[in-house]
Amino acid sequence: MKSFFSLLSRYALTLSAVLVATLLAYMMWKHYAQRPWTRDGRVRADVVQIAPDVSGPVANVAVRDNQWVNRGDVLYSIDPHWLKLAVASAQADVEAKRHEMLMRQDAATRRSQIKGVISSEDLQQTGSAASIAAANYHGALAALELAQLNLAHATVRAPVAGYVTHLRLRPGDYATAGETKVAIIDANSFWVVGYFEETKLRHIHVGNRAHIALMGFEPVITGHVESIGHGIGDSNDETGGLGLPDVNPTFNWVRLAQRVPVRIHIDKLPAGVELVAGLSASVSVEPSGRKTSRSLLTRITGE
């Protein structure tokens, strides 16, 4: 009898262990299969492409690659010699047009005071000449303002505060108007994008709290879901011959869940964490009404 109870207790203990292991396995599967988390995340930032408004040889480069700049700091300057000549020429043209306008207006005024001596046609012609001279004068003023604006734009300044990147500009290079010569990473624009499987999107809503773990830094960054992407590429959407859809004739039986970009706003950046656009990140989103343990980020990143 004693051996029977001993055997029964061993079976019961084994069965209990199997049930507990099965329950734990199910809970872990449910946690990882349905919990909105991903290791496919990237740090992003706005990159401002800076191009000059005027063309000319570069006279001076005031910054270095990867240097911090404040808004309004000088980046580089274009040789202003020919732009100064354009301003001087425009000023001379304004003066000439002003004298001509005054002369035409004076002639029109004098002729209008002797209407009985000259014909109405002559009066009309002198009045029209005065109006044309006034229009030419205002056109010269506009040309002068444009020349002065071009001279001011010979000095290229930073439109935002951030980091100079991919600087490939040297004194003597020729800068063409509208052609990017330097870029600045806006320091106030960093965000994280996480690519979540479509099966987990139902658990993600705008405003949900998020935890971000960077591969190169230990502290966890807190944020929230700012927006969810509403479109991804489709390989069957390409146009083939005659403008018809180019549909892939083969179909994979193993259907993989598509990944949808979710934009995460960074709420607080821990001390010692330096954001760099393009860094890898793991992202975990707290579903509404739930909290995600930070240990999940540890399991995701393996740190």
| pLDDT band at residue 267 using 50, 70 and 90 as cut-offs | very high
Domains of the chain listed by start with CATH number: 35-45+188-285 (2.40.30.170), 52-179 (2.40.50.100)
- pLDDT tens column, 213-233: 999 898 999 999 999 999 887
Residue 128 has a pLDDT of: 82
| pLDDT band at residue 293 using 50, 70 and 90 as cut-offs | very low
Backbone φ and ψ for 203, nearest 5 degrees, come out as: -95, 0
Amino acid code (one letter) for 262: V
CA–CA distance, 184 with 181 (Å, rounded to integer): 11
Q: Which strand (E) or helix (H) includes residue 163?
A: strand 162-165
Residue 208 has a pLDDT of: 93
| Cβ neighbours for 130, distance < 8 A, ≥ 6 positions apart | 101, 104, 105, 107, 108
With vertex at residue 281, the alpha carbon angle to CA 275 and CA 287, rounded to the nearest 5 degrees, is: 115
| Angle between helix 120-152 and 81-112 (nearest 10) | 160
- pLDDT tens column, 66-110: 999 999 999 999 999 999 999 999 999 999 989 988 888 887 777
pTM, entire model: 0.72
| pLDDT band at residue 295 using 50, 70 and 90 as cut-offs | very low
CA–CA distance, 303 with 49 (Å, rounded to integer): 37
Output 47 or 166, whichever has higher pLDDT: 47
Contact call for residues 288 and 205 (beta carbons, < 8 A):
yes
Output 126 or 56, whichever has higher pLDDT: 56
